[in-house]
Structure 1
Amino acid sequence: MIKSTILGAAVVLAPLAATAQQTLTAETTSAGSSPHYIDTTFAAALESAGVATLQITEGATLTNSVKAVAEGRLDIAAAPLILPFLLSRGIGPYSGVGAEKGKELADNIRAIFFHAGSHQIFAYYDSKPIEDITKLDGTRIWNGPPRGAALTSGRATVQLLSGLKDGEGYEGVQTPWPDAVSTITGGSVDAWTSPDGLPSGRQIRIAAAGATTIHDIPSALYNSELGKQITAAPGHAPFSMPVDEYRAAYAGNDITIVTDDDTFDSYSTAFGEIVPAEMDEQLVFDIVTVVLEAQDRFEKGSPIGPNLNMTFGDIDGVSQGACGAVQIKMHPGAIRAYQEAGFTVAECLHP
């Protein structure tokens, strides 16, 4: 993993002077992803306000990051909301933890804000096209890192498209996030599926090696019983955008967007920035106050900014992928920051 330290400012701004600047540890995904942009922008905003210095580890496996926050070994992480859900039950990548310990650990996690800056895509190189994305027998498909939420979503997408399971009809290929682009551009796979923002730096880098085509989920499959189950699954939320707007985001790159109607339909990966439950309430209040005041910075700092689905307003819980199967709670300091900014937070998110 690549570790970068983002240094904080020496002067504490007056409105936030009650809390001395602190050094906090954080983990996020690799460069080019939505969580990476959010977390580095987050760190820069905290630096400018003089609230905290974030020591960020990039290219992290978020399955491990979520557990580290729950255990109090890490201060902040970008968390796909399916991971606290799985941890609370001691299943999936946390099966070794067990249900009792998993629930205890999950109870130590608090969200401070939410985002859904990525959605699932399916793509291939035009030089080696997939003639029918519903017939993927015998193919090799990069479907995520070795474990975690992205792999679960990637496998679900291939199953929805083709009815095939990983290892039963197609060969799933997994590599750590920092190796994803090189694995795909190296030509060892026939196609790939991944959660990406819009526009995705990762997809632009992949297309730099040759023209690519990105598909959404065909309407009949998207609206099928399985499609609805996947869209509503823990950690997911529906995603639809006019295809003309979607294509415009990739203008100037050698990327073709294919849909069967006038919208790009998929599902988003619901994320929350998480901290340990015992983190100081005033510190969290100051951190979230900075985030809420930095809306322009998040939305204008990158082409991906307007499509981050960041929570800069009322939080109803359901739109954020919580208050259903996922029962994550918000930190009291974060709730207070939202309320003092004039926003409401659903009762289901209160500890």
Structure 2
Amino acid sequence: MMKSTLLGVVVALAPFAASAQVTLTAETTAPGSTPHYIDTTLAAVLDSAGVAAMQITEGATLTNSVQAVAEGRLDMAPAPLILPFLLSRGIGPYSGVDPEDGAAIAANLRVLFWNSGSAQIFGYYNNNPVEDIRNLAGKRIWNGPPRGAALTSGRAMIQLLSGGKEGEDYEGIQNDWPDTVSSITGGGADAWTIPEGLPSGRQIAIAAAGGTTIHDVPSDLLASELGQQIMAAPGHAPYSVPVEDFRAAYAGNDITIVTDDDTFDSFATAFGQIVNVSMDDELAYQITKAYLEGQKRFLEGSPRGPFLMLSFGDVDGTSQGACGAVQIKMHEGAIRAFEEAGHSVADCLRP
């Protein structure tokens, strides 16, 4: 069940008249996830800076959140970038939306800042090991929630590793996010593939029930034509972390990390912190300015902070998973904040 929590207090928006106050409505994922950490940290940063209060609904389905922001029913949400892409075409989880309407709605979305903090991993229990991750025929694999960006990425991961397709070569297991751990620990799957931040509380909880092994994408597969297509697919971005840093993040837990070189390589789920184009320029500027000034808090407030791939410098678009198939733009107020802080913003991200 989703729960709503008011973070911070309503405070005066400094650049506006003294009587002006703002509360931002936002939705995010379940506690323990990367988007949840970013959103709750942002709420604290905005409160401390006297910019705004954020009223956050947790455990939301981001497919719905993205559409709500695009339609102006919600102020802010973290968006896996594949979702604006799918909405703009009326396909996938938005197949009920007319393509022309989807394109018009998606055009209302703007990004304040970016992150790629969740990398696709493949795991299994050591007492029921997968002997060859390139042969997953007949396996029951948890590959995402019932719909949305994570499921698309999960299916792509299994296709890349083994060439398998759900329903033909393996059985796909899906649950809503809050039920993920219990489904896996209860024996509902032989293996799992999930976009995870580092370290992942979910992976630690899964390993508490028995030792696990986590794989990255083998180098030859990542460099293959399919691997490069998946890496450049809408909603994805490159991800590479020194394997010793990856192992250190899980130190003290019964989790074995397997790579074929000295880095943990995969494709990341690219995110943008989205608002509606109608958000006041000054408000978007003040939010983004406070975000940039809160860099230390984001990076040091959690063990996963250094691995969030948050945008605190130049924004080239490609590294953020945009300026390709995904053509989403930044808010003009956000661009002003980045440029005033001395950072460049790619032309392809300008409205």
Output the amino acid matched with 1:53: A
- Give the Å deviation of 1:74: 0.8
CA contact (8 A) 1:26 1:54 kept: yes
Q: Deviations over 1:102-130 (max 9, x none)?
A: 10001010111101111000001111111
**Alignment of 1:5 onto 2:33:** no
Output the amino acid matched with 2:104: E
1:113-262 matches, cutoff 5 A: 113-262=113-262
Q: CA separation of 1:332/1:18 partners in 2, compared to 1, >3 Å: closer, same or farther?
A: farther
TM-score normalised by structure 1 residue count = 0.96
Q: CA separation of 1:292/1:19 partners in 2, compared to 1, >3 Å: closer, same or farther?
A: farther
CA contact (8 A) 1:9 1:49 kept: no
Q: Take 1:149 and 1:14, find their aligned partners in 2: how far apart are those partners?
A: 37
Aligned twin of 2:104: 104
CA contact (8 A) 1:9 1:48 kept: no
Q: Take 1:220 and 1:17, find their aligned partners in 2: how far apart are those partners?
A: 59
Structure 2 SS opposite 1:67 = helix
Q: Take 1:21 and 1:185, find their aligned partners in 2: how far apart are those partners?
A: 46
Aligned twin of 1:45: 45
CA contact (8 A) 1:19 1:51 kept: no
Structure 2 SS opposite 1:100 = helix
Q: Take 2:102 and 2:305, find their aligned partners in 1: how far apart are those partners?
A: 34
- Give the Å deviation of 1:6: 2.9
Output the amino acid matched with 1:214: I
Structure 2 SS opposite 1:35 = helix
Identity of aligned residues (%): 71
Output the amino acid matched with 2:179: D
Mean alpha-carbon deviation: is it higher for 10-19 or for 151-160? 10-19
Q: CA separation of 1:260/1:17 partners in 2, compared to 1, >3 Å: closer, same or farther?
A: farther
CA contact (8 A) 2:13 2:20 kept: no
Q: Take 2:14 and 2:275, find their aligned partners in 1: how far apart are those partners?
A: 25
Aligned twin of 1:266: 266
| Poorly superposed stretches of 4+, deviation over 4 Å | 10-19
Q: Take 1:10 and 1:76, find their aligned partners in 2: how far apart are those partners?
A: 16
Mean alpha-carbon deviation: is it higher for 88-97 or for 69-78? 88-97
- Give the Å deviation of 1:278: 0.4
Output the amino acid matched with 1:286: Q
CA contact (8 A) 1:21 1:50 kept: no
Output the amino acid matched with 2:218: P
Q: CA separation of 1:269/1:10 partners in 2, compared to 1, >3 Å: closer, same or farther?
A: closer
Q: Deviations over 1:265-303 (max 9, x none)?
A: 111111000001101111111111110010000000000
Output the amino acid matched with 1:76: M
- Give the Å deviation of 1:40: 0.8
- Give the Å deviation of 1:245: 1.6
CA contact (8 A) 1:16 1:286 kept: no
Output the amino acid matched with 2:29: T
Q: Take 2:19 and 2:326, find their aligned partners in 1: how far apart are those partners?
A: 32
CA contact (8 A) 2:289 2:338 kept: yes
Q: CA separation of 1:103/1:19 partners in 2, compared to 1, >3 Å: closer, same or farther?
A: farther
Aligned twin of 2:297: 297
- Give the Å deviation of 1:18: 7.0
Q: Deviations over 1:192-247 (max 9, x none)?
A: 00000111111111111111100011122111111111111111111122211211
**Alignment of 1:28 onto 2:28:** yes
CA contact (8 A) 2:12 2:52 kept: no
Structure 1 SS opposite 2:112 = strand
Q: Take 1:60 and 1:7, find their aligned partners in 2: how far apart are those partners?
A: 16
Q: Deviations over 1:12-69 (max 9, x none)?
A: 5867877943111111111111111111111111121222121111111111111111
Structure 1 stretches of 5 or more lacking a match? none
CA contact (8 A) 1:6 1:44 kept: no
Structure 2 SS opposite 1:339 = helix
Q: CA separation of 1:111/1:254 partners in 2, compared to 1, >3 Å: closer, same or farther?
A: same
Structure 2 stretches of 5 or more lacking a match? none
CA contact (8 A) 1:27 1:60 kept: yes
Mean alpha-carbon deviation: is it higher for 134-143 or for 235-244? 235-244
TM-score normalised by structure 2 residue count = 0.96
CA-based RMSD: 1.5
1:267-286 matches, cutoff 5 A: 267-286=267-286
- Give the Å deviation of 1:264: 1.2
Aligned twin of 1:84: 84
Q: CA separation of 1:18/1:325 partners in 2, compared to 1, >3 Å: closer, same or farther?
A: farther
CA contact (8 A) 1:122 1:194 kept: yes
Output the amino acid matched with 2:242: P
CA contact (8 A) 1:21 1:53 kept: no
Aligned twin of 1:327: 327
**Alignment of 1:60 onto 2:60:** yes
